[in-house]
Chains A and B, each alone.
Chain A
Amino acid sequence: MTAVAFSAGAANPPAAGGPDPDSALNILLWIVVPYVAITVFVVGHYWRYRYDKFGWTTRSSQLYERPLLRLGSPLFHFGILLVALGHVGGLLVPASWTDAVGISEGAYHAVAFGLGTVAGLAAVAGAAILVYRRRTVGPVFSATTRNDKAMYALLVATMLLGLGTTVLGNLTGHPHDYRETVSPWLRSVLMLQPDTELILAAPIGFRLHVLAAWALFAFWPFTRLVHVFSAPLGYLTRPYVVYRSRDEQLGTRPPRRGWERPRRPRQQVGR
C-alpha cells in the first residue's frame, strides 16, 4: 500500500496552493481508508458466507407490522436500486465514453440530476418511513439490534450526504462536475493507482459522502445488508420445483479429512 501511495504521490506533484496530497492525513483518508474498506468488504463477505450462512437473511419484520412497511420498503428499495445504478454509471463510466456516444455534458447532467434526485428522494423518504416504523412500532423496535442501529446511522448519513450534495450543489447554479474529480479518483483507486489530488479537488460535501460510504462498505459484511448479495436472480431461470437428494454425506457432519467415502470420478462422456 505504501508503495502505491508513494508512486501516486510521485506521479502527481502537488498543485500550487492546493492541499498537500502527500500529507499523512490525506494518505490515510484517500488511500489507506479506501483500500482497507475494500479489503474488509470483500474478505468480510467471503468469511461471513463461509461462517454464517444461517445468519444471512433479510430478517424481515413484516410479520410485526404491515401498513408502514408496505409503503416504506418498496419506496426505499426501488429508490436505492436506481441510485446504485446511477452510481455505477456516474463513477465507473468515464466522461469520454459518454461523449463518444454523443451524449452532451448538459444532457448527461440533466438526466443524472433529475433521475438521481427523484430516486434519492424516494430512497430517503422510504428510509425515513422505515426508521420511524422501527422506532415507534414496539415489536419492530425490540427486534432491532445495536448492529442494526449502527448500520441505519451509517446508511442514512451516507444517503443524506449524497442527496444533500447533489441537491445543494445544483441549487447554486454551478454544480460541481464530479466526473472530473470523484469518478476518476475512484477509478484510479480501483486500478491500484490512487490519485489523491483528484478527490482533493472535490467539494467537502462529496468528500464526506465518500468517506461515509467507505465506512458503510467496511461495516457492510457484518450487517443484514448482506442480503443485497442474495438478490434472487436465479429464480428467473430455474424450474419451479427444486428436487434435492438427501444429503450426499452420511450423518450430520462432513467426514473428517481422509475418511471420505470412495467416489467414482465424474465421467466425461455419456448422458
Chain B
Amino acid sequence: MRVMAQLAMVMNLDKCIGCHTCSVTCKQTWTNRSGVEYAWFNNVETRPGQGYPRRYEDQERWRGGWVLNRRGRLVPRGGGRLHRLSTIFSNPRMPAIEDYYEPWTYDYETLTNAPLQEHTPVARPKSLISGEDVKISWSANWDDDLGGAPEHGAADVLRRGLEDRVRFEFEQTFMFYLPRICEHCLNPSCAAACPSGAIYKRSEDGIVLVDQDRCRGWRMCVSGCPYKKVYFNHRTGKAEKCTFCFPRVEVGLPTVCSETCVGRLRYLGLLLYDADAVLAAASTPEERDLYEAQRRVFLDPNDPAVAAAAERSGIPHDWVQAARRSPAYALINTFKVALPLHPEYRTMPMVWYIPPLSPVVDALRDTGHDAEGRANLFAAIEALRIPVEYLARLFTAGDPAPVDAVLRRLAAMRSYMRDLNLGRDADESIPAAVGMTGEEIYDLYRLLALAKYDERYVIPAAHAEQAQALEELATGCSLDYDGGPGMGGSGPFGESSGGPEPVAVENFRMLRDRQRADTLTAATGRRGRVNLLNWDGRGRPDGLFPPSAHDTAAPGGAPSRTDTPGRTDIPGPDHTENGRAT
C-alpha cells in the first residue's frame, strides 16, 4: 500500500442556483489576461445542454480520456505515444476556437467620441481574436437556463437515445446546473498526453499543474483531457488549466470558486488513497463498475493501519488528522451521496457531485402532491425515470442504481428532518428504508445544510509556514523580476516571453492572517508600496493616499496606522473615515 493524499472537491448540485459567481471570480483571479479570454477554468453549465466547449462529452470525436484495448490494458483513447508524436504537427482532435466561442469586447469608445448624428451610436461587438466586428452567436453559457434549447438542446451528447423522454417542451423539461473545474484526476490523461512531460501531479496534494517553463505548446493535453479543462493560451503558446488555487490552499484558504460560492455548495477536503491500486481500478473491465472501483481506492483515515502507512509514506500527521475530518471523504464514502463526473473516461476524477433531487421534487410539487412526504418522494424517484437516467449518464456511466440510491438517501433526509423540524416524533423507518440510522441522517443533514466554513473547507496547510514568513521579511529582493527583460507585455521573443511573474505564497498567508484577525489592522505594504491586489479594505496602509497638508504640517505626528477597532487613523474633520465593522 502506497498512501498518497489528494485534495478533493464535492459539489452539492441541489444548492447551485446558477449565478456564475464562481466562474466570474475565478476568471478575475486567473484568466483575465490576454490569450485566455475564452478560457473559463470554472464554468457553470445548464444540463441538459451542450456544455462548454460545445459537446465536449462526445469522445467519439475528441478522443479524450482512456480506454481498455483488446488485451484489457489501459491506453489513452487518443492513441499511444508513437501515434501522438506522428500527429504533433497538427493535432487533429484539438477543438477550434468556434467550439469554445470567439471572445469579444464592445467598442465603447464610439459611444463617447462619435460625431453628432441622427441615430444614437452603438457599441459594436469586436472579436478579441481578429479585432473585426463579430456577430455574437455562442459563448461559454449560451444555452444557460435552457435558453435556445429547442434549437441547441438536441445536440446534448447525453441525450442521445433519450430524445423521446428528455424533452424541451416547457411543461416537460427539467434542468439543473453543473459547475465544472479541472477534475485533478488520479489518473490524468492530460498528463499522459503531454509530450514534454510538463503536466504533473503534485505528489503532496494531488493537484495537477502545468509547468509553464516546460510546456512547449504541443497542444496534446487539450485533446487528451476528456473534460476539455486544459486551455491553450494563444498569446504565450502554453497550456493553462485550473490550479486548484494552489497558492491559496497551500496556506489553508479554500479555492476562489469555493470561497465565493453563494450557495455554499462546495466542500474541500483531503482523501487518502492507495496509489498502487489506481491503475487496477481504472482498468475495471465494466464501465458501470468504475464508480465503485474508484470508491474502493480511497482509504479510511480512521483505520490505524492506514494512518501508520500514511506516516510511513511521509504524509504529515496533521494531514492525516485533516483527512479524518474531511467532508469529501464523508460525502463520498461514509454517506455515499457524492458521485464522480463521467467515471467512464477512466481518469478517476476527484471533483465529485451530489446529484440534484430538486428536479424530482419540483415535478412532484407541480402535480399537487406533498413533495416531502417519504412515500411520495420515493415513488416519484421510481416513477420519474427521466432525470435519473440522465443523471446516471453523467455520474455513473449510465447505471441508474447508484443515482437512485443517492436520491433516496437525500429524500429520506428531507422527510426525516421535516418531522423533526415540525416537532413531530422521528420516524425511524425512514432512515431504515435507505440503510441508515437516524443519527447518520442527522449528520448528513448537518454537513449538507448547516456546516460552517471550517467544516466545509478542511485544508491542511503546506509545511513551509515559518520559512515563508521569514522569507518575506528577511531575504530576497522583490525587484528581482520587476523590469526584467520581457516582463509586463511583449518581450523580445513574442508575447510575455521572459520569466513568469511568480505568485507569492507569502502574500496569501498574510491575507489569511488579516482575514482571520479580530482587529482592524492595516495591510502592511512593503517598502512603502501599496499592493491593491491584496488589500482587502481593512485598515488603511501607509502610502495609500499621498501625504496631505495636514500630515506635512505636523512632522512626526500621528501614526498613520491603526490597531484599534473603530478608530480612524488620522484625526481631523477632513479625514473622517468610517471604521469598518467586522
Chain B contacts with A in 425-475, Cβ cutoff 8 A = 462, 464, 467-468, 471, 475
Question: Is the CB–CB distance between A253 and B480 below 8 Å?
Answer: yes
Taking CB atoms, residues of chain B closer than 8 Å to A77 are: 89
CB < 8 Å neighbour of B493 from A52, A70, A250: A52
Question: Is the CB–CB distance between B195 and A62 below 8 Å?
Answer: no
Taking CB atoms, residues of chain A closer than 8 Å to B502 are: 252-253
Contact with A along B189-225 (1 / 0, CB 8 A): 0011011110111111100000111111111000000
Asked whether any CB of chain B lies closer than 8 Å to the CB of A172, the reply is no
Binds B, one of A27-35, A89-97, A200-208, A229-237: A229-237
Q: Which residue of B lies closest to A233 (CB)?
A: B85
Asked whether any CB of chain B lies closer than 8 Å to the CB of A174, the reply is no
Question: Is the CB–CB distance between A241 and B498 below 8 Å?
Answer: no
Taking CB atoms, residues of chain A closer than 8 Å to B485 are: 51
CB < 8 Å neighbour of B497 from A52, A61, A62: A52
Asked whether any CB of chain B lies closer than 8 Å to the CB of A264, the reply is no
Question: Is the CB–CB distance between B212 and A62 below 8 Å?
Answer: no
Question: Is the CB–CB distance between B197 and A234 below 8 Å?
Answer: yes
Asked whether any CB of chain B lies closer than 8 Å to the CB of A256, the reply is yes
CB < 8 Å neighbour of A222 from B90, B235, B464, B493: B493
Taking CB atoms, residues of chain A closer than 8 Å to B115 are: none
Question: Is the CB–CB distance between B234 and A73 below 8 Å?
Answer: no
CB < 8 Å neighbour of A241 from B90, B191, B462: B191
Contact with B along A215-237 (1 / 0, CB 8 A): 00000001110010010101110
Asked whether any CB of chain A lies closer than 8 Å to the CB of B188, the reply is yes
Taking CB atoms, residues of chain B closer than 8 Å to A234 are: 197
Distance between A58 CB and nearest chain B CB, rounded to angstroms: 4
Interface size class of A (residues with CB under 8 A): 35 or more
Taking CB atoms, residues of chain A closer than 8 Å to B250 are: 246
Distance between A244 CB and nearest chain B CB, rounded to angstroms: 4
In this complex, the member of A51, A227, A234, A245 whose beta carbon has the largest number of chain B beta carbons within 10 angstroms is A51
Asked whether any CB of chain B lies closer than 8 Å to the CB of A19, the reply is no
Contact with A along B86-100 (1 / 0, CB 8 A): 001111101011000
Question: Is the CB–CB distance between B467 and A57 below 8 Å?
Answer: no
Q: How many residues of B contact A (CB 8 A)?
A: 72
Q: Secondary structure of the A side of the interface?
A: loop
A64 to B97, CA, bound (A): 7
Taking CB atoms, residues of chain B closer than 8 Å to A223 are: 493
Distance between B86 CB and nearest chain A CB, rounded to angstroms: 9
A238 to B187, CA, bound (A): 15
Question: Is the CB–CB distance between A57 and B216 below 8 Å?
Answer: yes
Asked whether any CB of chain A lies closer than 8 Å to the CB of B492, the reply is yes
Distance between A223 CB and nearest chain B CB, rounded to angstroms: 8
Binds B, one of A100-108, A135-143, A154-162, A177-185: A135-143
Q: Which residue of B lies closest to A59 (CB)?
A: B237
Question: Is the CB–CB distance between A238 and B197 below 8 Å?
Answer: yes
Q: Secondary structure of the B side of the interface?
A: loop
Asked whether any CB of chain A lies closer than 8 Å to the CB of B500, the reply is yes
In this complex, the member of B205, B213, B480, B497 whose beta carbon has the largest number of chain A beta carbons within 10 angstroms is B497
Question: Is the CB–CB distance between B91 and A252 below 8 Å?
Answer: no
Distance between A130 CB and nearest chain B CB, rounded to angstroms: 11
A58 to B485, CA, bound (A): 20
A59 to B89, CA, bound (A): 12
Given the known inter-chain contacts A63-B97, A232-B216, A240-B76, please indicate yes or no for A251 contacting B505, CB distance below 8 A: yes
Taking CB atoms, residues of chain B closer than 8 Å to A142 are: 130-131
Question: Is the CB–CB distance between B494 and A55 below 8 Å?
Answer: yes
Distance between A59 CB and nearest chain B CB, rounded to angstroms: 4
Given the known inter-chain contacts A242-B191, A253-B502, please indicate yes or no for A60 contacting B201, CB distance below 8 A: no
A52 to B219, CA, bound (A): 20
Taking CB atoms, residues of chain A closer than 8 Å to B467 are: 250-251
A236 to B232, CA, bound (A): 23
Distance between B40 CB and nearest chain A CB, rounded to angstroms: 15
A238 to B196, CA, bound (A): 10
Taking CB atoms, residues of chain B closer than 8 Å to A39 are: none
Question: Is the CB–CB distance between B191 and A52 below 8 Å?
Answer: no
Asked whether any CB of chain A lies closer than 8 Å to the CB of B173, the reply is no
CB < 8 Å neighbour of B471 from A66, A224, A230, A250: A250
Given the known inter-chain contacts A232-B195, A250-B471, please indicate yes or no for A54 contacting B464, CB distance below 8 A: no
Question: Is the CB–CB distance between A240 and B192 below 8 Å?
Answer: yes
CB < 8 Å neighbour of A58 from B194, B217, B480, B498: B217
CB < 8 Å neighbour of B89 from A56, A61, A74, A138: A74
Distance between A21 CB and nearest chain B CB, rounded to angstroms: 38
A242 to B197, CA, bound (A): 7
In this complex, the member of A61, A64, A242 whose beta carbon has the largest number of chain B beta carbons within 10 angstroms is A242
CB < 8 Å neighbour of B131 from A52, A60, A138, A246: A138
Given the known inter-chain contacts A55-B497, A70-B90, please indicate yes or no for A230 contacting B492, CB distance below 8 A: no
Q: Please provide the 6 A-B residue pairs with the shortest distance between their CB atoms, ordered closest to farther.
A: A55-B497, A232-B195, A252-B502, A240-B192, A59-B237, A57-B237
18 A–B pairs (Cβ distance < 8 Å), ordered by A: A53-B499, A55-B496, A56-B216, A57-B237, A60-B232, A61-B234, A62-B219, A66-B90, A69-B90, A74-B89, A147-B492, A224-B493, A235-B84, A238-B197, A245-B203, A250-B468, A253-B480, A255-B475
Given pairs A142-B130, A223-B493, 8 additional interface contacts (CB within 8 A): A54-B238, A138-B131, A232-B218, A238-B197, A243-B200, A244-B203, A246-B462, A251-B506
Binding site for B on A (CB under 8 A): 48, 51-64, 66, 69-70, 73-74, 76-78, 138-139, 142-143, 145, 147-148, 222-224, 227, 230, 232, 234-236, 238, 240-246, 250-253, 255-256, 259
